């Protein structure tokens, strides 16, 4: 058994490593200091206690509407419920199937008004804006501001917080829905951000 600091210069199998209460001595784990049984019991109790305690869920920040707006707007339950609700029946092609559903949410235009769109100089500067909507899987779709502005196309695009098959859409899993699109490519699921450019 090696007990001095000189063991660092010995070949690996002859070295002695101490991880109390066990020691790795010449190729195998052996009992180390006195009290190792008590330490094992305490470690086992600690491990069982950690396994029995519920895991603390890491909550992610709510999605936000950011970019060229006066102030970022959190897209949480409080904000969404503070605005008028809009209901929408929608049908669109999704892959090889057709998706139909009834949704409730907030008009994207209402969210943009609440955040306060900041326009640059020039004629019809409002028409230079786009909105990039991104999902949790990094899938993103863009809309022109003129599509949702009531003074132009005025589409009833909503950020849905309720509806769809199986209740997949809720305040924690928002979905963008664009009526009038034949394909659902801009119906972004699980929205995590909306950036105004």
Residue 119 three-state SS? coil
Residue showing tokens 């991880």: 19
Report the C-alpha gap between 81 and 43 in whole angstroms: 49
So what's the pLDDT on residue 168?
82
Number of helices (H), then strands (E), belonging to the chain: the values are 4, 12
So what's the pLDDT on residue 44?
60
Task: Tell me the pLDDT tens digit for each residue of 67-120.
Answer: 999 999 999 999 999 999 999 999 999 888 898 999 999 999 999 999 999 988
So what's the pLDDT on residue 30?
60
Question: Looking at the predicted structure, is the pLDDT value of residue 17 above 50?
Answer: no
Cα 114 to Cα 34, 73, 143, 197: the distances in Å are 69, 8, 18, 16
Question: Looking at the predicted structure, is the pLDDT value of residue 62 above 50?
Answer: yes
| pLDDT band at residue 192 under the 50/70/90 scheme | very high
Torsion on CA atoms 32, 37, 39, 41, rounded to nearest 10 = 150
So what's the pLDDT on residue 39?
60
So what's the pLDDT on residue 49?
64
Domain ranges of the chain: 5-52, 64-196
Report the C-alpha gap between 48 and 126 in whole angstroms: 60
Residue 62: CB atoms within 10 A of its CB come to 17
Q: How do strand 86-94 and strand 191-196 relate by DSSP bridges?
A: unpaired
Question: Looking at the predicted structure, is the pLDDT value of residue 9 above 60?
Answer: no
Task: Tell me the pLDDT tens digit for each residue of 36-57.
Answer: 555 665 556 666 665 555 554 4
Cβ proximity of 135 and 190 under 8 Å: yes
CATH class of the structural domain 64-196: alpha beta
Task: Tell me the pLDDT tens digit for each residue of 133-168.
Answer: 999 999 999 999 999 999 999 999 999 999 987 778
DSSP line for 125-170: GGGG-EEEEEETTS-EEEEEHHHH-TTTT----EEEEEESGGG-BB
So what's the pLDDT on residue 34?
46
Report the C-alpha gap between 158 and 121 in whole angstroms: 28
So what's the pLDDT on residue 52?
55
């Amino acid at each position: 058994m090696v007990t001095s600091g000189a063991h660092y210069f010995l070949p690996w199998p002859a070295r002695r490593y101490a991880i109390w209460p066990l020691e790795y001595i010449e190729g195998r784990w052996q009992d180390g200091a006195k009290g190792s049984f008590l330490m094992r019991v305490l470690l086992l109790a600690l491990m069982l206690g950690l396994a029995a305690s519920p895991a603390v869920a890491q909550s992610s920040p709510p999605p936000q509407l950011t970019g060229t707006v006066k102030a970022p707007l959190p897209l949480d339950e409080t904000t969404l419920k503070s605005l008028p609700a809009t209901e929408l029946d929608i049908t669109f092609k999704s892959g090889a199937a057709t998706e139909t559903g009834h949704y409730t949410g907030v008009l994207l235009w209402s969210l943009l008004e609440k955040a306060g769109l900041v326009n640059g100089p020039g004629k019809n500067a409002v028409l230079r804006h786009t909105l990039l909507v991104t999902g949790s899987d990094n899938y993103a779709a863009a809309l022109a501001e003129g599509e949702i502005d009531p003074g132009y196309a005025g589409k009833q695009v909503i950020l849905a917080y309720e509806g769809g098959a199986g209740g997949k859409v809720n305040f924690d899993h928002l979905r963008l829905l664009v009526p009038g699109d034949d394909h659902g490519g801009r119906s972004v699921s699980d929205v995590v951000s909306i950036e105004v450019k």
